[in-house]
Amino acid sequence: MSVSFSLTDDNFHDLVFADGGTALPNSPMRAPSSTWYYAIEMPDGTTESRTPTGAIVQDASISYEQGSDISVELTILYGDEPDDIAAPGTIEQPSDEDVFTWHGATFEVAGLNQPLMQSTTLSLSGLARFRRGQGRHPYDAVVDAIEPSFSTDATFTERDQLALAVDDTAGEGGPVGKVPATFGLENGQGDTIEYTLEDCQPTSYSWSDLVAPDADLGEPIDYHVADVSATTTTA
């Protein structure tokens, strides 16, 4: 399954940050799983539903786009789809104030604020995998070889990221520098979610719209990230 939605809360964190819903695991452990309910009301008034069970999140991304809501996309694998699961009760719908929008986002890279961010995606791939034996359905699920990454595209205002990517500060064959970063979000209720990124290293760096008369110079960067944690504060 692939699910995408506007960010309104941190409920999905329990399926992504397997270490208590706030951190990525640093040791082998079972992967969290869930049951999903999909339903559609037919023209004759009947309801057709599907109920994937043993669902694990394989990949997740949280994205910012200037002028749009913060969006989340989950790639999900599931182990079974039984037909004897009862429909849930009343499904609570979020309000407009619950949505995390673009104007509530903040970004810091190496302690420096990025006020002209145009787009950003925090990607977490390889979060979980199934283990299988002789049965038709998976035996269980464990955390996989997680690969976090962070991509940004901001208007060029200073050379700190450029220096991190291209300056020969470590000498011939030296390691690429590592810096911390934060990706902070706030909604209309005053709730905040902050993603803390450790040891960000640029894997690609470029300039865009270098000679465009109707656009600012852009600075698209892809970072490798060593670890990610999440903190939620409710107003």
Express each pLDDT in 84-93 by its tens digit. Answer: 888 888 888 9
pLDDT at 169: 53
Q: Where are the alpha helices (DSSP H) in the chain?
A: 13-16, 160-166
Which residues make Cβ contacts (< 8 Å) with residue 36, sequence separation at least 6?
Answer: 1, 51, 52, 55, 76, 78
Q: Where are the domains of the chain?
A: 2-233
Residues 65-124: tens digit of each pLDDT: 999 999 999 999 999 999 888 888 888 899 999 999 999 999 999 889 999 999 999 999
Which of helix, strand or coil describes residue 104?
A: helix
What mean pLDDT do residues 202-211 have?
A: 92
Share of the chain above pLDDT 70, in %: 97
Count the Cβ atoms, other than its own, within 10 Å of residue 225: 22
pLDDT digits (tens, 9 = 90+) for 151-182: 999 999 998 888 888 875 555 666 778 899 99
Distances (CA, A) of 40 to 37, 47, 48, 147: 10, 6, 5, 35
Q: What is the C-alpha to C-alpha distance for residues 57 and 54, in angstroms, rounded to an integer?
A: 10
Asked whether the whole model's pTM tops 0.85, one would answer yes
* Phi, psi (rounded to 5 degrees) for 51: -135, 75
